[in-house]
Structure 1
Amino acid sequence: MSQNQTRSKPSFGGHRGPVMGMPTEKAKDFKGTLLRLISYLKPQQGRLFVVLFTALLSTLFTIVGPKIMGKATTKIFEGVKLKWQGVAGAAIDFEYVGNILLLLLFLYLISSLFNYLQQYLMAGVAQRTVFQLRQEVNQKLDRLPLSFFDRHAHGEILSRAVNDVDNISNTLQQSLTQFITSAVTLLGVIVMMLTISPIMTLIVLLTLPLSLFVTKGIASRSQRYYINQQSSLGKLNGHVEEMFTGHQIVKAFGHENKSIQQFNEINEQLYHSSWKAQFVTGIIMPLMSFIGNIGFILVSIVGGVLVTKQSIAIGDIQAFIQYSGQFTQPITSLANITNIIQSTIASAERVFELLDETEQQPEKVDATQLTQPRGKVEFKDVSFRYKPETSLIKNMNIQINPGQTVAIVGPTGAGKTTLINLLMRFYELDHGKITIDGVDITELNRADLRQLFGMVLQDTWLFHGTIRDNIAYGREDATDEEIYAAARAASADSFIRSLPEGYDTILNEEASNISQGQKQLLTIARAILADPAILILDEATSSVDTRTEIMIQQAMNRLMEGRTSFVIAHRLSTIRDADLILVMNHGQVIEQGNHNQLLEQNGFYADLYNSQFTGKTIAV
């Protein structure tokens, strides 16, 4: 099938996890979505257990380090103290200290090894899980009806399939292990501090409510600045995209200065809101450090007193100070991870909404195949509506014989394109049936059905790639000679060979490096190469000059010989030679016949035809 297809390009930026104080989209059903996301991890539960085990060991080996280091400090202090006291034979036990340092080196090496193993395994778990999720999304998109894509913007669908899935991937790979290590670190640090001194532990814990109060206060204040920042950023992106997309229109109407002024105003708003948001959020860490230093001072004073009373060893004071410094780090990490998880669950919910969409009717298990299609098409009592409350086509009956050229005419909104959509089974009928060579199209696989058709539309849709590949899209196994022959038949060969790279010329993503008429010639060549049983032409020559139109029309006439052809026409002068003309209005075929028969009826078609030459207004 040579049907052209549309592609939307998402605007991707670098992925950045949420920061503290930044508002995140919240899920409507957090618990249900979380449980459903966890269910995707069930096949990996063995690896997850190993990840949890290695994360525990890695963190525990790191946590006990300061406590062991404290023993070395205490031993050095005792040796120095005995020397000061003039004790005979007093010396520092360097062998003991050396053994402690070797033990620490071993522990940190083992901790790093387990940390590496944890990250390696978690990467595999995350990518396997997301691989399954991506597969399901991709397969789901293949099963969704065209009505779904009509209701949703292409960029929105791509955002769910790409950005939201990537957000889940990043969280699984990074935040999950970080959450485990932060929780274990927090619990382990508290336990180690309690083993050293419950009194000093209580002092450190008293700073926790103050830290949470400060963080919550600043986060809530910065939230509105972040909302303003995101709003201004969205306006700026929209303005830039609009101005660059319509750059020629802006210049044609002389609105450059107005466009620049609008940009400057939005950019100024973004500057102020971003500056305030970053400044307010930036206060969090200095204040946390200040609160931490208060705790450090109190711990040092109390610890000094306890050392002088010989209630605690000086090495334990050193270890405790290290633990108190580590205490706030996992709290900050957990706060950030909580924010990221909110965003991730929201992304997962959006992906699951896509996966739960109503699918198109499944294919028949014992589907029929038309091995030698002749092109006889019949509409029998066909009824269809886009919306349940609005009827469009009702009890339509049409019979097209093999090889006939059928023109479909009528005012905008009459149902011309809808007829083609139903024929190709982009939408399912409400009632009746459509047959090709006597076979109901619902008895055919959709792929086999659409292989019977070749389409050339008024809107020319090409892909980023070579001209050769764009023409060959109509038939993947085509040889170069067949591609060249199709291009010659479409009067495209001469202009292609005049390009610097000829058939290997790369078209950009909008194919804007060739003219509109040249793009149309390529889509016609693509249809010719496909050699379909049934042709669908939607004003295929509207973008070319008169001389090229005549050449294309001649090529089309040769192509349409022996084939059933549907021609959606707006310029009625182009379809005077059609075997059958269907005149549509309000979803109904109100007149049918050839050109002369319809003119003799002096009805709707005659008025429509004459209005294109006299400028007469007709009642629709």
Structure 2
Amino acid sequence: MSPLAKLFEHARQYRRSAILASIYSALNKFFDVLPEVLIGVAVDVVVSKQDSFLAKLGVVDTQSQLIWLGVLTVLIWGGESLFQYLYSVEWRDLAQNLQHKLRQEAYAHVQKLELGWFENRSSGNLLAVMNDDINQMERFLNTGANAILQIVCSSILISIVFFALAPKLALISLLPVPLILWGTFWFQNRLAPRYAEVREAAGQINGRLNNNLYGIATIKSYAAEDFEAAHVEAASQNYVQTNAAAIRLSSAITPVIRMAILAGFVVTLVYGGWMALHGQIAVGSYSVLVYLTQRLLWPFTGLAEIADLCQRSMASIDRVLALLNTPIGIPYAGAALPRAQVAGEVVFDNIGFSYDGVHATLTDINLTLPAGKTVGFVGSTGSGKSTLIKLLLRFYLPQHGRVRVDGRDVAEFDLQDLRRSIGYVAQEPFLTDGSVADNIGYGMPHATRAQIEAAGKAAEAHDFITRLPQGYDTPVGERGQKLSGGQRQRIALARAILKDPAILVLDEATSAVDNETEAAIQRSLAQVARGRTTLVIAHRLSTVRHANVIHVLEHGRIVESGTHDALLVANGSYAALWRLQTGESVTL
């Protein structure tokens, strides 16, 4: 199935619009061909007078014949203009609606893909698919689809007229048409892989630009502008070279088509003229054939541009549909999990997990986290702390064992219900480009201003928020760049508090904040952790010292568990970390 057929198979709801647009295009071309026929009829009236074609239809008077020709001309031009307006509107509406639907579907589908899928993909390439490729498809539907239809319709209509007036001449004059079409498709088949490479190269540029804009502060601080500019230049040069290879091939289409057109036109002009001189066809018919040959064949010179646009679009459509057909590794459907019914007990039952399938990240993890308790996880970087949280949130699936909430495997639950029951505060919180209030109320569209401010107070963020120029209505900028790291972290905590989850997760939430912010987060945590299961992952042991139990991970295994005081007494890994961070000695 061709990419275009796949596209319309996917978007069945727009078939009526596509059919209607195609009908309007065909009718426009029908009226577009008729003026050339009228020219021949007019010549016939002037030359043959009372013996003309119109006279045979009953209009004998030559003046009446000319009046009728004028009326028909007005009607034909009116019909052509009407259907041109209709097909323009219909094709453009179709292009706009379809690109909107595809972009929404692509983004919605991408959001449902598991995190492991993103780790092997370039964000810039994804942006290219969801934006540039879909726009390329829109450009084809705006102009290319109509152009192809009109060439087909004009070929059929003009061929009918040719064979009706001069069958022998038609056979010779129209001989280039199948050759032109065959040559165009021959070139298209060779253009397809080249334009697939062009789209990949465009995605690489997007990836490089996206990465550099995100890290612009680091680039500036290391005076690496020239270094990164060279990377962008290399990616852009690769795009230019890839595109040039396609352009060289597509540019060869027009000269080949022109020569075939020349052959057909010369045959009509010379052989048709000879037939008219010898009385085999009427002078009016000869005029019609000359004009129609030009009307038929010269538009074929535009096939090069149409083929170019078509192949670019087909490559783009393939990429968009390939994205939409990417299987979702972690299904969303499952049993309902109402927030009010979640007590919050979490069990990691014999968990084994590896990101690459070779090197184990977690091995034989068996933990029970009682409902309503605060549990701390500490350990060196790469020990597996954050991976436990990702398994709880079902960002990934364990290769061995199960994660259970309130005694049931999390795989049984509706994925969104599960995640609505969990409040998550990451080390680098995501803030949307909106106001402070928008970010605290993120994912809670029905939250009132009073509830948002109450959450801000609970996170000890209210004071600094009210000092901002517009208070809770202050824009935070893209990714919250107008705020400090500590301010972003406290807004993220307020967001989790507003969510009122049964399970609260803080993943390194204090690792990149100052002492004052850490103290504020700890005070907030002491309040909001009451009555809910709280999982705290921390490098700073001061963040978890008051937890009901602390688990120490090393190389994906739990090596110690206990309260802060009990672990200090045990004088193991935790005590060593405590001494390292505080400089205190441990009294045994």
* In structure 1, C-alpha distance between the alignment counterparts of 2:414 and 2:205, rounded to whole Å: 46
Deviates more, 1:202-211 or 1:50-59: 202-211
| Residues 1:96 and 2:65 aligned together | yes
| Structure-2 residue corresponding to 1:489 | 458
Offset at residue 567 of structure 1 (A): 0.9
Deviates more, 1:452-461 or 1:340-349: 340-349
| Structure-2 residue corresponding to 1:498 | 467
What secondary structure sits across from 1:414 in the alignment?
coil
Contact map agreement 2:125 2:204 (CA 8 A) in 1? no
| Structure-1 residue corresponding to 2:540 | 571
Contact map agreement 2:250 2:308 (CA 8 A) in 1? no
Flag structure 1 segments of 5+ consecutive residues without an equivalent.
1-29, 81-90, 616-620
Q: 410, 417, 421: which is aligned to 2:390? A: 421
Q: 31, 35, 48: which is aligned to 1:65? A: 35
| Structure-2 residue corresponding to 1:403 | 372
TM-score, normalised via structure 1 length: 0.77
Specify the code of the residue in structure 1 equivalent to 2:381: T
1:351-370 correspondence runs (5 A): 351-353=320-322, 354-361=324-331, 363-365=333-335, 367=336, 369=338
Specify the code of the residue in structure 1 equivalent to 2:36: P
Offset at residue 329 of structure 1 (A): 4.2
Contact map agreement 1:54 1:117 (CA 8 A) in 2? yes
What secondary structure sits across from 2:423 in the alignment?
strand
Specify the code of the residue in structure 1 equivalent to 2:527: R
| Structure-2 residue corresponding to 1:107 | 76
Q: 18, 33, 44: which is aligned to 1:74? A: 44
Q: 482, 488, 491: which is aligned to 1:513? A: 482
* Structure 1 residues 246 and 299, CA gap change in structure 2 (3 angstroms): same
Deviates more, 1:324-333 or 1:227-236: 227-236
1:486-565 correspondence runs (5 A): 486-565=455-534
Instruction: Output one character per residue of 1:336-381: Cα deviation in whole Å (capped at 9) or x when no partner.
Output: 555555444444444444335144246335x454625443322233
* Structure 1 residues 368 and 226, CA gap change in structure 2 (3 angstroms): closer
Offset at residue 100 of structure 1 (A): 1.8
* In structure 1, C-alpha distance between the alignment counterparts of 2:12 and 2:200, rounded to whole Å: 39
* Structure 1 residues 613 and 239, CA gap change in structure 2 (3 angstroms): same
| Residues 1:480 and 2:449 aligned together | yes
Contact map agreement 1:75 1:92 (CA 8 A) in 2? no
| Structure-2 residue corresponding to 1:22 | none
Instruction: Output one character per residue of 1:194-217: Cα deviation in whole Å (capped at 9) or x when no partner.
Output: 444456546644666997899899
Instruction: Output one character per residue of 1:144-164: Cα deviation in whole Å (capped at 9) or x when no partner.
Output: 444334443444445545555
* In structure 1, C-alpha distance between the alignment counterparts of 2:338 and 2:398, rounded to whole Å: 21
Flag structure 2 segments of 5+ consecutive residues without an equivalent.
51-59
Instruction: Output one character per residue of 1:358-406: Cα deviation in whole Å (capped at 9) or x when no partner.
Output: 44246335x4546254433222333334444554434322122233221
* Structure 1 residues 613 and 436, CA gap change in structure 2 (3 angstroms): same
Specify the code of the residue in structure 2 equivalent to 1:397: N
Aligned residues: 575
* In structure 2, C-alpha distance between the alignment counterparts of 1:510 and 1:420, rounded to whole Å: 23
Instruction: Output one character per residue of 1:68-101: Cα deviation in whole Å (capped at 9) or x when no partner.
Output: 3211123224569xxxxxxxxxx99232122123
* Structure 1 residues 178 and 156, CA gap change in structure 2 (3 angstroms): same
What secondary structure sits across from 1:510 in the alignment?
helix
* Structure 1 residues 299 and 611, CA gap change in structure 2 (3 angstroms): same
For CA contacts below 8 A with separation 6 or more, give which structure has more relative contact order. Answer: 1
Instruction: Output one character per residue of 1:240-277: Cα deviation in whole Å (capped at 9) or x when no partner.
Output: 55554443334333344556677778878988998998
Offset at residue 537 of structure 1 (A): 0.9
* In structure 2, C-alpha distance between the alignment counterparts of 1:428 and 1:560, rounded to whole Å: 27
1:333-482 correspondence runs (5 A): 336-353=305-322, 354-361=324-331, 363-365=333-335, 367=336, 369=338, 371-473=340-442, 475-482=444-451
What secondary structure sits across from 1:506 in the alignment?
coil
1:157-176 correspondence runs (5 A): 157-161=126-130, 163-165=132-134, 167-168=136-137, 171=140, 174-176=143-145
TM-score, normalised via structure 2 length: 0.80
Specify the code of the residue in structure 2 equivalent to 1:535: L
Deviates more, 1:464-473 or 1:172-181: 172-181
Offset at residue 584 of structure 1 (A): 1.1
Deviates more, 1:561-570 or 1:425-434: 425-434
